[in-house]
Amino acid sequence: MEVGISVFLNLHKNNHMFSKGQIIFGVLFFIIFAIIIGFTYRKDLKLHKRFYSGSIWVLLAFISFILFIVAIKYFFK
């Protein structure tokens, strides 16, 4: 039993979730991805204004519906 615990403790000490290279890759990927998404959004801004002009009302209706469901849950608990 002692051997099992000591092996677990040794693995736990040396167990890192991500290497330094993986962290650098993840951060760079996120930054570059965000920049590309930003440029793409700016490029399509005219199309968004033209075709999705009333979509804010759909979003507000959806959020209101979710809040309504949560309110019902707490009032009739």
Q: Which residues fall within 8 angstroms of residue 26, CB to CB, at 6 or more apart?
A: 18
Mean pLDDT of the chain: 85
Q: pTM score, two decimals? A: 0.49
Q: Which residues fall within 8 angstroms of residue 48, CB to CB, at 6 or more apart?
A: 41
Where in the chain are the domains?
2-75
d(CA 21, CA 29): 12
pLDDT given for residue 4 in this prediction: 54
Tell me how far the alpha carbon of residue 58 is from its chain's centroid.
22
- Write the pLDDT tens digit of every residue in 51-65: 888 889 999 999 999
Answer yes or no: is pLDDT of 72 > 70: yes
Answer yes or no: is pLDDT of 29 > 70: yes
